[in-house]
Structure 1
Amino acid sequence: MDQQKPPKKKNTGLQNAAALSGVGIQMGLTIYLGNLLGSWLDSTFETGYLEITITLLAIFLSMYSMIRQVNNLNK
């Protein structure tokens, strides 16, 4: 026979807020570092498109990370 699993504990709103409190800082830092990397690469290789490209990539990466954290929290 299958054993019954104990029910999962529900996270309260305060626990969710604490778990997601660093998401804004993480997003901002990821985007800022992507921008710094892109500007450094632009000045090193004398191009004009790497800063914008890497900054946009950092934005999408940070959004993906945030969505993934929220989905894991809701499971």
Structure 2
Amino acid sequence: MPRATLRLATPHAQAVWGALCPEVGREIPRTRVRMDRDDGGIVLRVEASDLGALRAALNSYLRWIRISEEIGNMVGEQHG
């Protein structure tokens, strides 16, 4: 079973966590996702039944993470 572990260290960990939580709870065909906090960051574990499902899930999560980071940076610039 293909697996991937992503460790994300970001000053926007709380915002990224909040954005990803609803997605982690969602059913994704052939895929299981778990998310934990680790030393101020986030650890995302993705397990899939095949490489295609793993790639699709990773693409989705990486896109959501990137968008959350961009929003965090924009908000931080406005308040900074």
Q: Select the structure of larger CA radius of gyration.
A: 1
TM-score normalised over the length of structure 1:
0.47
Larger proportion of helix: 1
Structure with larger RCO (C-alpha < 8 A, sep 6+) = 2
TM-score by length of 2: 0.45
Larger strand proportion of the pair:
2
